[in-house]
Amino acid sequence: MEQYRTRPAQYGPRRDRPRSSLPPQAGRGAGGGAVRAVRQPGPQRRPSAGPQRRTPPVRRPAPAPAPAAARFPNPRLTGLGSGLFCALVMFLLGGLCAVLFGASLTAYGVLFLPVCALTAVWVRRGDLMTAPVVVPIAFAVGLVPVADGDGGAGGKLMGLVTALATQAGWLYGGTLITGLIVIVRRVRLVHRRRAAARPPV
């Protein structure tokens, strides 16, 4: 009889295989060779040369002011200057009304109102209270070329008094407009002074 050879049992303690020296990122390819992980190219940080300086903000140039010719005139008249201005303008307007409108007192009264407003606006802050005083005087001065008179100084004076009596409504209206503008400017001036004197919080 044939005796079968018995192969020795190979189930013994296994020898420790040498560990692979590949890094954990490495794998094996199809042929069994080691494949190394390829790092993706990325932005490399450059070493900083030092603290970076911030560029100062660029200041934009201020807008150029409007030309003086395009601005509305805004003079500042003293008490005497406002009186002379109002009286001179009303005298010229009175002469204009006598030539163009046949000495119309109504046209003269209508032109008196804007002159009063300009006088109240253009007088300086320190002489605000003089504007309501000079306006009636300028109204009387402007009536000289408009008022009717028979002749001589007496007749001219009587015509002036009559014109003042009949046109008192325009006189009171112009004086009222001047007073209101002066009061508004005075209130605004007081508020500005209080705001400037108030200590900052």
Q: Rounded to an integer, what distance in angstroms lies between the CA atom of residue 59 and that of residue 107?
A: 55
pTM confidence score: 0.60
pLDDT tens digits, residue range 60-82? Answer: 655 555 554 445 566 788 889 99
Is 189 within a domain? yes
- The whole-number pLDDT of residue 156 equals 77
Average pLDDT value for residue range 18-47 = 52
| Positive/negative CA dihedral, 159, 172, 118, 101 | negative
Q: In 5-159, which ranges are E strands?
A: 27-28, 34-35
Is 182 within a domain? yes
Average pLDDT, the chain: 75
Is 13 within a domain? no
Is 188 within a domain? yes
CA proximity to 187, closest of 175, 179, 176, 199: 179
The residue to which tokens 């490495």 are assigned:
26
Is 116 a residue whose pLDDT tops 70? Answer: yes
186 compared with 156, residue with greater pLDDT: 186
Is 83 within a domain? yes
- The whole-number pLDDT of residue 68 equals 46
Is 162 within a domain? yes
Q: In the chain, which ranges are E strands?
A: 27-28, 34-35
Is 12 within a domain? no
**Number of domains comprising the chain:** 1
- The whole-number pLDDT of residue 155 equals 78
15 compared with 136, residue with greater pLDDT: 136
- For residue 123, list its beta bridge partners: 77
Domain that holds residue 186: 74-195
Is 183 within a domain? yes
